[in-house]
Chain A
Amino acid sequence: MEIKATMAGSVWKIAVAQGESVGEGQDVVILESMKMEIPIPADSPGTVKELKVAEGDFVNEGDVIAVIE
């Protein structure tokens, strides 16, 4: 399952590591946009297969941030 950016912004913090397991609603990445922290949670539990962004990257709305299996 792909975790996508809900809005345009920069990646402020990556809250999980590759291979780590995450629970439903757990924050995967925190974006910074409009001077606000924008948590991007996992929709369902799984394991982080791939992180597609690094801290400081700009992402557009709909960009894939991580892949959860």
Chain B
Amino acid sequence: MSYLEEFQDRVSKISQGGQAKYHQKNEEKGKLFVRERLRRLFDESMNIEDAFFANCMDESLPSDGVVTGIGKINGQSVCVMANDSTVKAGSWGKRTVEKILRIQETAEKLEIPMIYLVDSAGARITDQVEMFPGRRGAGRIFHNQIKLSGRVPQICLLFGPSAAGGAYIPAFCDIVIMVEGNASMYLGSPRMAEKVIGEKVSLEEMGGAMMHCSVSGVGDVLVKTEQEAIAYTQKYLDYFPKNFREKPTVKDKKGVKQIEKNLADLIPTNQNVPFNMYDLIDQLIDEGSFCEIKKKFAPELITGLARMDGRAVGIIANQPRMKGGVLFPDSADKSAKFVQLCDAFNIPLLFLVDVPGFMIGTKVERAGIIRHGAKMLATMSEATVPKISVIVRKAYGAGLYAMAGPGFEPDCCLALPTAQIAVMGPEAAVNAVYANKIQELPEADRAAFIKEKQEEYKENIDIYRLASEMVIDGVVKPEQLRDELIQRYSLYDSKSVTFTERKHGVYPV
């Protein structure tokens, strides 16, 4: 064989990945070949690939089961690592790990996003001494991820299993997109669970995509196909700058979605009646620009990226339609991570407030709602990007605080005319203050007394009174809210603030 022939023979064999039977197996599950995934992910093809010949002395391990390199998404260069599950089930050998470490270190040097296409059975046990415990072992992958966190966006597309230690790759990413039916995360497989702790459980139930995206919250976005995961990644990345030093690019402006209803009619005046917060969001953002994160997890709080007049903004909104919009431990965690994500990459924040408060009762106290709520407050408080809160209707108790109330240095706190700010709602307050008095009254007089006291209470917390006291910075008609916000975000663009000087806070977790 000539030099050229040998070269071409090797390139052609390595490019094909593992054995045909594994390709076929993947195809049956709707899984694309790793190189096809990358072709679809990038604007064109991958621009450069590193260590294509890794472990080429062993023909059964093409590229040692992982592809690493740099390509462009929406014109922006990004680093990528992608497991090849046709090669020993995408397991990690010594060189696999070294390749992953090197591409992470490249992302750190170039300060560009790092994307992980995960489809791996975990450690290659036969290589454990070389790949597991040492300085350049798999632990270093997570160390690198933690170091990259907040410097560059890190995205995980989970196409297959992510087992044991490998499950920490998604855990340290900003966002995890999971393909239903194929993606899974778990520390110990169902087989191991049965052997070690005697639990009988299916993979889907224990670590499937639906479970993680709706119950555990380790997954963020549930999709049906790999193509959908790729499309979501492309959309999501468009809201981000390439690293923490830069701001997101402002895109072409678009109008809002046209609806027949009057905006004011969407928002019921009775504070206790639910409404659909998505309808209000639609009327504030550029049409079609909403990129929701954790849609299925803690749906009583909506978090997502959007554009207003082309400018990226992160929205945190209570959803009265789900669980009354009450805050729970999960909703607090959801907000904490999202606010950190936006603040890290200079995406302004918008809080849409309609919250009866944090949930009360034994169940949530035992779940530690106080420390979870503290996380929500801490991250929101620390965020130094332009930060606006809009009191849509009620903002009761610590709910006001958690949703960027005036005490937490929002750049402004606006209210709609339907707003009501108080320690608690009129019903609960009258009950709390006058419980004994009500008991003493003859039953026939009670209703009238309660009504009278509630009216008094409402006057006391009247939104114009709070505007007069400058608790809030303005009262805005719903129809004018979008324009008001666009103006303000554009004017706040030059905001540059350091929260405080210290090594780091001692975070409530």
Contact = CB atoms under 8 A, between A and B. Distances in A.
Given A35-B272, A36-B272, A6 B323 contact: yes
18 contacts: A7-B323, A7-B328, A8-B361, A8-B363, A33-B323, A34-B324, A34-B326, A34-B356, A34-B359, A34-B360, A35-B272, A35-B427, A35-B428, A36-B320, A36-B324, A36-B356, A37-B273, A37-B274
A29 to B, nearest CB: 14
Contacts of A33: 323-324, 326
A61 B274 contact: no
B267 to A, nearest CB: 15
A50 B128 CA distance: 56
Interface in A29-60: 33-39, 60
A39 B363 CA distance: 21
Contacts of A37: 272-274, 324
Interface in A7-21: 7-8
A39 B325 CA distance: 11
B429 to A, nearest CB: 10
Nearest to A31: B324
B322 interface: yes
Nearest 3 pairs of A and B residues by beta carbon: A36-B324, A34-B356, A7-B323
B432 to A, nearest CB: 12
Sorting the interface of chain A by its residue count into under 10, 10 to 19, 20 to 34 or 35 or more gives 10 to 19
Contacts of B320: 36
Describe B's contact surface by its main secondary structure. loop
Given A8-B363, A34-B357, 6 more contacts: A8-B361, A34-B324, A36-B272, A38-B324, A39-B274, A60-B363
A35 B427 CA distance: 8
Contacts of A36: 272, 274, 320, 324-326, 356
Nearest to A62: B363
Interface in B338-383: 356-357, 359-361, 363
A57 to B, nearest CB: 16
Nearest to A12: B272
A44 to B, nearest CB: 16
Nearest to B358: A34
Describe A's contact surface by its main secondary structure. loop
Contacts of B361: 8
Given A60-B363, A61-B363, A35 B356 contact: yes
A62 to B, nearest CB: 10
Among A6, A34, A36, A37, the one with the most B-chain Cβ atoms within 10 Å of its Cβ is A34
Interface string B417-430: 00000000101100
Contacts of A60: 363
A33 B361 CA distance: 11
Among B273, B324, B325, B328, the one with the most A-chain Cβ atoms within 10 Å of its Cβ is B324
A7 B321 contact: no
Among A8, A33, A38, the one with the most B-chain Cβ atoms within 10 Å of its Cβ is A38
A20 to B, nearest CB: 22
B108 to A, nearest CB: 43
B362 to A, nearest CB: 9
B397 to A, nearest CB: 10
Contacts of A39: 274, 321
Contacts of B274: 36-39
A4 to B, nearest CB: 12
A36 B363 CA distance: 18
A7 B359 CA distance: 9
A45 to B, nearest CB: 19
A23 to B, nearest CB: 17
Nearest to A32: B272
Contacts of A34: 324, 326, 356-357, 359-360
Contacts of B360: 34
Contacts of A35: 272, 356, 425, 427-428
Contacts of A7: 323-324, 326, 328, 359
B223 to A, nearest CB: 20
A42 B315 CA distance: 28
Interface string B314-337: 000000111111101000000000
A43 to B, nearest CB: 12
Nearest to A60: B363
A1 B359 CA distance: 27
Nearest to B327: A34
Nearest to B399: A34
A30 B356 CA distance: 17
A37 B324 CA distance: 6
Contacts of B428: 35
Nearest to B322: A6
Contacts of B322: 6
A41 to B, nearest CB: 9
Contacts of B427: 35
Nearest to A33: B324
B466 to A, nearest CB: 20
Contacts of B323: 6-7, 33, 38
